Amino acid sequence: MDLASPDTTPPSLLTTELTVALIGNPNTGKSTLFSALSGIAARIGNYPGVTVEKKVGRYADDAGPVTLIDLPGTYSMAARSADEKVAIDVLLGRLPDVPSPDVLVVIVDATNLDRNLYLFTQIRELGKPTVLALNMWDRVEASGIQIDVQELSRRLGVPVVPCAASRRVGISELRRVIREVTTSSAPPCILGEVFEKQVDKLAGWIQEHCPHLPTDRFVLRRLILDVQGAIEREYCVQAGKDGDALEGAVARAREELAQHGLQVPLVETRLRYQWIRQQLDGIYEIKETGERTWSDRIDHVLTHRFWGFLAFLGVMFLVFQGITWGASWAMDWITDVAQPACVAAVESLLAPGMLRSLLTDGVIAGVGSVVVFLPQILVLFLFIAMLEDCGYMARAAFVMDKLMTKVGLSGKSFLPLMSSFACAVPGIMATRVIDDWRDRMVTILVAPLMSCSARLPVYVLLTYTFVPDRYLAGGWISLQGLVLFAMHLVGAAVAIPVAWALKRFVFPGQTSAFVMELPSYKLPSARVVASRVLERGQAFLTRAGTLIFCTSILVWAAGYFPGDHSRLYQLTAELEAVEQSDAGKDALEPWQRAIRQESGRLIRESVLGRTGQAIEPIVRPLGWDWRIGVGVLASFPAREVIIATLGTIYSLGGDVDEEDPGLRAAIRQATWPDGTPVYNLPVAFSIMVFFALCAQCAATLMVIRRETNSWRWPVFAFVYMTMLAYLGALVTYQVGMWWYR
């Protein structure tokens, strides 16, 4: 890794392909500006080895192509989170798959110029060609703020371009300036001569004792200023046996600075804001009216301890009602209309056989298991994009932060966790709003514990089959309804100690301070909202969908091989011939019954069935027989598949649902070899608790893989949740049987 000082010779920007990095504080409209410059189309992935999202777009001007890199929003270059570390690595050209930027565009909220310029003062010290974009200029004009743009540009030594990205104002001018900017000399450091001497001294120590480490001045400044930051940790690790000595050298530099009245890290904030005030003196004027604005009045309610919490609950209620209304019909259409139509089309073209089974039960079912999540994802991210763009999301995070910090998370974790009650897949994708990587990882790993809608068929089948139909509180409360409600709370209750344990033992570290600037309220931009929704939908289909599809094919193969399906194909062909003859329903029953019995035999003889029989000694302490074990294994692509699997095993067919009276009768009548019933109330609760806590969802695990950029965390989630589920089911059954007897 070479971190030598960047080349200060400006490239021939007027004739070459450019790489431009966009960086700015959160809520400055950076992503909106990125979309305005590049259009909606963008490549989205992860930076190698980390969970930070990489967003790259392109556009072309008269001189050639321009590549845009949208860096994570950050308040400072004090690299403590993975996002901030990635930003520094990209700016210094340290990532192998990302070209070193030729031009840096620093986006600031022009209505909060004095605060937003803090990041700019750090970026300018890189010595790269830099442009300052004063975004939200329309609000500057509306509020009467006075900014002398030309004088500001002269004082800062960089081109300054006013723009309003949401209205696409100033975009052409910004493109022109990006192409023409050539200034690349590093300005004097704001922190002064005494500080720079300590940088020189530390550089000399590193060259003498750790010559393999880079001595770029920007990085060494951050090494001194960022106490226990990412750069200090990285340098100490790379120093090897000299790591402790390097840590001591950095500590001595800080002590000597303190002796000169430059206390680290406070000195940086004090001197940078002092410099900013000097540069803005006389050219930046905000008219103070002394009156409370309508924004202040709204915030008085939305950030209030009590009223703000009630408002948040109301917004969440509307969001989830919207998800239910906006996505359920589309999901039902996919499962009830589109998939059956595709299956019917294949069956009309192909005779019964392995290829037809592969296409109908493997490919179509696999594609359906991917696409069925898309409506929920699109609707959820539609609401998230609107709430973010209008400014409410920051208020919601502020209101919930105090509650969430009690389990080691931040206020931004609440929405992803609530979203996971509908489906963990969009909930995990929604964790991208969380800045701190520890909070984001913990939220990802506990999100699958929220009881999603896919678990409901299991709860309904077992509750209405084995829980007595009684009423409590004088007939006001249904016992069955109470059980269904309690099962939805099991995962959430367990998630609290799990999140605490993960934050304490797996992701230890000081809880990050909740720092967030409340953005101004505004109407959401339809273009920005649409681009974000399309990006998330595309990312899900291309990044997670392929893995989910492959998993579905593998489970189909496990349930298909190695049985001899010739008799099943013959019976199916005969049934289809009888159906074409317009025979009555009673005439079809013998073939349908024979097909159900043959399907049950084949799944028992398949790899899936044999595996279920092999694990029966393991699941026997839970009160389960091998058939329940097969149902659990087959439900890996999606939890609700257990219903169809049990229908096949009990020779009822795979098209039964949780309300099918035949399936309920079959599981009531299922017995062990000695004639005792397999199912009873403790067994039913054991199965429900297992499904409430387990990770039986390939889609969730694959999304964790994509969001964390590693197989380590989906494997970790599967193992810890399976252990939790097994332990919970074991205790439920054993205690239940003691009480049941």
User: How do residues 65-75 score in pLDDT, each as one tens digit?
Assistant: 999 998 888 88
User: In degrees to the nearest 10, what's the CA dihedral of 431, 116, 75, 206?
Assistant: 150
Higher pLDDT, 357 or 196: 196
**To the nearest whole number, what is the mean pLDDT of the chain?**
81
Q: What is the Cα 55 distance to its own chain's centre?
A: 15
Beta bridge partners, 134, equal: 108, 162
Mapping DSSP onto H, E and C, the string for 350-378 reads CCCCHHHHHHHHHHHHHHHHHHCCHHHHH
Count Cβ neighbours within 10 Å for each residue of 578-600 and write b for 16 or more, e otherwise: beeeeeeeeeeeebeebbbebbb
> Tokens 């199916």 map to which residue?
572
Q: Topology of domain 18-180, per CATH?
A: Rossmann fold (3.40.50)
pLDDT in tens, 213-267: 888 888 899 889 888 777 888 888 888 888 889 989 999 999 999 998 888 888 8
Higher pLDDT, 397 or 206: 206
Q: What pLDDT is stored for residue 2 in this prediction?
A: 37
Beta bridge partners, 132, equal: 106, 160
Higher pLDDT, 406 or 620: 620
Higher pLDDT, 83 or 76: 76
Structure tokens given for 716: 């970790």
- What are the sequence ranges of the domains in the chain? 18-180, 193-285, 295-450
Q: What pLDDT is stored for residue 6 in this prediction?
A: 41
Structure tokens given for 19: 């790489």
Higher pLDDT, 49 or 575: 575
pLDDT in tens, 330-354: 877 887 888 889 888 988 888 888 8
Helix (H, G, I), strand (E, B) or coil at 386: helix
State how beta strands 130-135 and 103-109 pair.
parallel
Q: What pLDDT is stored for residue 724 in this prediction?
A: 95
> Tokens 């919490």 map to which residue?
309
pLDDT of residue 708 exceeding 90: no
State how beta strands 43-46 and 53-61 pair.
antiparallel
CA angle 691, 696, 700 (to 5 degrees): 120
Q: Among the ranges 86-90, 544-548, 682-686, which has the highest mean pLDDT value?
A: 682-686
- N- to C-terminal Cα separation, the chain: 68
pLDDT of residue 517 exceeding 70: no
Q: In which band, very low, low, confident or very high, does the pLDDT at 307 lie, cut at 50, 70 and 90?
A: confident
pLDDT in tens, 145-163: 889 999 999 999 899 999 9
Lowest mean pLDDT among 43-57, 244-258, 669-683: 43-57
Q: What pLDDT is stored for residue 5 in this prediction?
A: 39
pLDDT in tens, 539-581: 667 655 666 677 667 777 887 888 888 887 788 887 778 777 7
Considering the entire predicted model, what is its pTM? 0.65
Higher pLDDT, 691 or 519: 691
Could you give the angle at which helices 266-280 and 149-156 cross, rounded to 10 degrees?
A: 140
- Tell me the residue type at 27: N
Beta bridge partners, 65, equal: 60
Q: Among the ranges 3-7, 13-17, 571-575, which has the highest mean pLDDT value?
A: 571-575
Q: Spell out the residues 6+ positions from residue 90 whose beta carbon is closer than 8 angstroms to its own.
A: 21, 69, 71, 98, 101
Q: Spell out the residues 6+ positions from residue 284 whose beta carbon is closer than 8 angstroms to its own.
A: 113, 114, 145, 146, 147, 148, 152
> Tokens 């986006």 map to which residue?
107
Structure tokens given for 20: 């431009």
pLDDT in tens, 274-290: 999 999 999 988 766 55
pLDDT in tens, 449-488: 988 767 877 887 788 888 888 888 777 778 888 887 888 7
Q: What pLDDT is stored for residue 28 in this prediction?
A: 85
Structure tokens given for 76: 């400072």
Higher pLDDT, 406 or 704: 704
Higher pLDDT, 234 or 422: 234
Per the CB < 8 A criterion, the answer to whether 24 and 39 are in contact is no
Q: Cα–Cα distance between 425 and 447 in angstroms, integer?
A: 9
Q: pLDDT above 70 covers what percent of the chain?
A: 85
Q: How would you class 379 by CB atoms within 10 Å of its CB: exposed for 0-12, middle for 13-18, buried for 19 or more?
A: buried
Return phi, psi of residue 143, to 5°: -90, -5
pLDDT in tens, 370-413: 677 678 778 877 887 888 778 787 787 777 777 777 777 777 78
Per the CB < 8 A criterion, the answer to whether 147 and 283 are in contact is yes
